[in-house]
């Protein structure tokens, strides 16, 4: 009976899925509206609000005031507060980096050194570097999207192939970057250092990236050389991203890395005349504003998780995993499964990590899995799902820039598919498998 009661505590998640996914499917496929992306009709914030309302009506033995205290305890977690501060700083940095031309110049510089025959491979590798430095897959697609489209048209290359390489590279960096919101969410919720999670993650992601390079190299070798149009760039404005990347890899505190990056992009932008002080403040505000929904959803997801956990929902999930998945290997597979399903449901890998993190932490304690391992599994699993769902922001953004359907890009997403294979292999045969 206790198990059924605990399972009933998961009802708010079901409500969220029905509202969010149901609305998206209806407006995307059953009753599409011209110029409207179906999966963006229903705000994820509104869907979470409805789910929280359901959670508040559950467990009548607890007063409303006590439930508010439970919500506050979830929101007041120091890891969540740290995440929010980092999100704000990352948004300010991203806004200034884009407005000052640092992001575009970095991409143009790297494209200028790619041989014509290796164009598609070059797009993938450059996207890997840019996304690692920027910490955002959507930002990378935005920066490089028009360049990828211009290259594919001028060189007569397959547009879905080029954008598949772009999205793949963007997800590689998003998964590994020290300043990515997914990395921040995964490490803070699991209580591990970013450098430890990076090492764990890199050993899984590297084989997938290398195999992707081999596939793209084979495609390039069998095709004709591409003529890449030269794009002008300022070498000085390209420096901040490389400096930030080196600093992040060196394990310097993320607050220092982001603050220094913001200062560097501002100083170089002002010095080269690509931005004035007025636009610096505007771009910082715009970048921070772009993080508002992520922050609100993080708070709401944490609140919902606190209520579900108090009502025994997570205990029911863990009991299910213990019944069907045995040992350390089984616990890790359970984390992968839950993370993928949550990302498919929310179409937001950061939100999926925040919601799944408390369950992963309990599984980690139950099976004595190292925290860097669970953080890595959370990040990889959600990035795999986020990189291939046709209604996710990454594919929708890429498809909108390319003027094609997101479904057309899916067959060319070699890296996310290979990353899924690699994480499963590591789970079954890695050092933490048991």
Tell me the H-state helices in 311-348. 313-324, 327-346
Q: Is the pLDDT of residue 173 over 50?
A: yes
Quote the Cα angle for 77-83-89, to 5°.
Answer: 145
Asked, for residue 126, whether it belongs to a domain, the answer is yes
**Spatial distance between the Cα atoms of 134 and 126, rounded to a whole number of angstroms:** 12
Asked, for residue 434, whether it belongs to a domain, the answer is no
What secondary structure letter does DSSP report for 277?
H
Q: For residues 112 and 231, is the Cβ–Cβ distance under 8 A?
A: yes
Helix (H, G, I), strand (E, B) or coil at 316: helix
What secondary structure letter does DSSP report for 38?
G
Whole-model pTM over 0.85: no
Asked, for residue 191, whether it belongs to a domain, the answer is yes
Helix (H, G, I), strand (E, B) or coil at 70: helix
Q: What is the mean pLDDT of the chain?
A: 82
**Spatial distance between the Cα atoms of 127 and 142, rounded to a whole number of angstroms:** 11
390-425 pLDDT, tens per residue?
A: 767 788 778 877 877 777 888 999 999 999 999 999
The pLDDT value given to residue 3: 47
Span 356-367, average pLDDT = 86
Asked, for residue 396, whether it belongs to a domain, the answer is yes
Tally of domains in the chain:
1
DSSP 5-32: HHHHTTHHHHHHHHHHHHHHHIIIIIS-
The pLDDT value given to residue 69: 92
Q: How confident is the model at residue 54 (pLDDT cuts 50, 70, 90)?
A: very high
Asked, for residue 281, whether it belongs to a domain, the answer is yes
Q: Is the pLDDT of residue 168 over 50?
A: yes
Span 178-191, average pLDDT = 83
Asked, for residue 230, whether it belongs to a domain, the answer is yes
Among 397, 420, 424, which residue's Cα sits nearest to residue 409? 397
Tell me the CA distances in angstroms from 330 to 13, 202, 205, 320, 418, one per residue in order: 23, 22, 21, 11, 21
Asked, for residue 150, whether it belongs to a domain, the answer is yes
Domain extent, residue 250, equals 2-429
Q: What is the percentage of the chain residues whose pLDDT exceeds 90?
A: 22
Q: Higher pLDDT residue, 85 or 205?
A: 205
Q: Helices 194-222 and 414-429: crossing angle, nearest 10°?
A: 130
Q: For residues 407 and 362, is the Cβ–Cβ distance under 8 A?
A: no
Contacts of 427 (CB under 8 A, 6+ apart): 329, 332, 333, 336, 377, 433
């Amino acid at each position: 009976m206790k198990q059924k009661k605990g399972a009933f505590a998961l009802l708010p998640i079901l409500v969220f899925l029905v509202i969010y996914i149901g609305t998206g499917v209806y407006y995307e496929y059953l009753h599409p509206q011209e110029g409207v992306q179906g999966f963006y009709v229903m705000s994820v914030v509104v869907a979470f609000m409805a789910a929280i309302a359901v959670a508040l009506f559950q467990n009548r033995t607890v007063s409303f005031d006590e439930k508010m205290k439970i919500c506050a305890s979830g929101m007041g977690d120091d890891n969540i507060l740290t995440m929010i501060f980092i999100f704000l700083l990352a948004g300010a940095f991203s806004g200034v980096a884009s407005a000052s031309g640092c992001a575009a110049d970095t991409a143009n510089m790297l494209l200028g050194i790619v041989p014509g025959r290796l164009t598609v491979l070059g797009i993938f590798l450059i996207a890997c570097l840019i996304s690692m430095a920027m910490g955002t897959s959507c930002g990378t697609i935005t920066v490089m999207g028009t360049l990828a489209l211009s290259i594919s048209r001028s060189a007569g290359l397959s547009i879905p192939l080029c954008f598949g390489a772009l999205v793949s590279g963007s997800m590689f960096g998003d998964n590994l970057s020290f300043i990515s919101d997914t990395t921040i969410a995964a490490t803070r919720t699991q209580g591990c250092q970013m450098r430890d999670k990076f090492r764990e993650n890199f050993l899984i992601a590297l084989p997938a990236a290398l195999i992707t390079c081999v596939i793209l190299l084979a495609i390039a070798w069998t095709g004709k050389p591409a003529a890449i149009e030269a794009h002008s760039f300022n070498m000085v404005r390209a420096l901040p991203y490389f400096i930030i990347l080196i600093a992040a890899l060196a394990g310097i505190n993320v607050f220092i890395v982001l603050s220094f990056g913001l200062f560097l992009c501002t100083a170089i932008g002002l010095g080269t005349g690509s931005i004035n002080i007025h636009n610096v403040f505007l771009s910082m505000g715009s970048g921070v504003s772009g993080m508002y929904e992520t922050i609100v959803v993080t708070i709401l997801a944490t609140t919902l998780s606190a209520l579900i956990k108090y009502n025994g929902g997570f205990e029911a999930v863990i009991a299910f995993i213990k019944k069907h998945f045995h040992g350390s290997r089984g616990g890790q597979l359970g984390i992968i499964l839950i993370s993928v399903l949550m990302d498919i449901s929310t179409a937001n890998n950061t939100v999926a990590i925040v919601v799944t993190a408390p369950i992963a932490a309990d599984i980690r304690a139950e099976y004595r899995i190292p925290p860097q391992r669970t953080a890595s599994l959370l990040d990889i699993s959600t990035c795999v799902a986020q990189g291939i769902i046709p209604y996710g922001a990454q594919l929708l953004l890429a498809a909108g820039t390319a003027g094609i359907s997101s479904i057309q890009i899916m067959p060319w997403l070699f890296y996310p598919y290979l990353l899924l294979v690699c994480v499963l292999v590591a789970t079954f045969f890695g050092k933490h498998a048991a």
